[in-house]
Amino acid sequence: MLTFKNVTFRYPEDETAMMENLSFHVERGAFVSLIGASGCGKSTVFRLINRLLEPQNGEIFVDGKEIHQIRSYAGYMPQKDLLFPWRTIEKNLCLPMEIQKIGREEQKERVTRVLEQVGLEGYRNKYPKDLSGGMRQRISFARTLLTEADLMLLDEPFSALDALTRMDMQEWLLHQWEHFHKTIVFITHDVEEAVFLSKKIYIITETPMTHLEVVDVPEGYPRNREFLRRPDIEMLKEKLTRQLRKQVN
């Protein structure tokens, strides 16, 4: 679904590259997490996928096509919900469809369906200030769904939530993923969050990035939190934590 092929990128103000000849791929329908120390280039990977940045060398493919040849191929959910406070929830959700110049009646029908799917159908005429942090993130996810892209890029979407709400949102997100069959790439600093959510974890171990270490999580879906206490999973979490701390040091 997603392929980096020998991608090199350097910010103009930096002397060294952020990545050099980086190649990796993500399978269709997978839920994978991308982890690494702060400043290692996780968000840069997303900006390259979204064409907000251009690599000096190499190519990026989505669904087998080079990204400059396709449109609306990736939905992006940022760390903050970025809902417009002067727009109702319905009007916030309509935004990606307005950009695509979809008719108003179809916009309304799609909003109705997605609000039912995320369990917030009674909130279409509310404003963002009327919603809790978890509800706002559900709306942000619903807006990302309405891009109708098969690839979804989620950039630490739960980092600002309290611990209990965060756990609820992780479980809710897995349910949505199992329902919609999207390919999700999820950035997080939280090792346990990555282990709970992911089929595979991609680890940035060095800068510049020349490769990503890939670790499989030995647990199927659906999941509950009991498996996180297994000895093999505790060892996996400890291994991942040591790798991140080593990079920071």
Q: Name the amino acid, one letter, at 67.
A: I
Domain parsing of the chain, residue ranges: 2-73+149-248, 85-148
Superfamily of domain 2-73+149-248: P-loop containing nucleotide triphosphate hydrolases (3.40.50.300)
Give tens-digit pLDDT for 106-126: 888 888 888 888 888 888 899
Backbone angles phi, psi at 230, to 5 degrees: -65, 145
> What percentage of the chain has pLDDT greater than the value 70?
99
**pLDDT value of residue 189:** 86
Secondary structure of 101-157 in HEC code, one letter for each residue: CCCHHHHHHHHHHHHHHCCCHHHCCCCHHHCCHHHHHHHHHHHHHCCCCCEEEEECC
Average of per-residue pLDDT across 134-139: 87
Give tens-digit pLDDT for 182-208: 999 999 989 999 999 999 999 988 888
Q: Is residue 33 over pLDDT 70?
A: yes
**pLDDT value of residue 249:** 64
Cα separation, 154 vs 77, in Å, equals 5
Q: Compute how many other C-beta atoms are within 10 angstroms of the C-beta atom of residue 119.
A: 14
pTM over cut 0.85: yes
Q: Is residue 153 over pLDDT 90?
A: yes
Q: Is residue 144 over pLDDT 80?
A: yes
Q: Is residue 246 over pLDDT 80?
A: no
**pLDDT value of residue 152:** 92
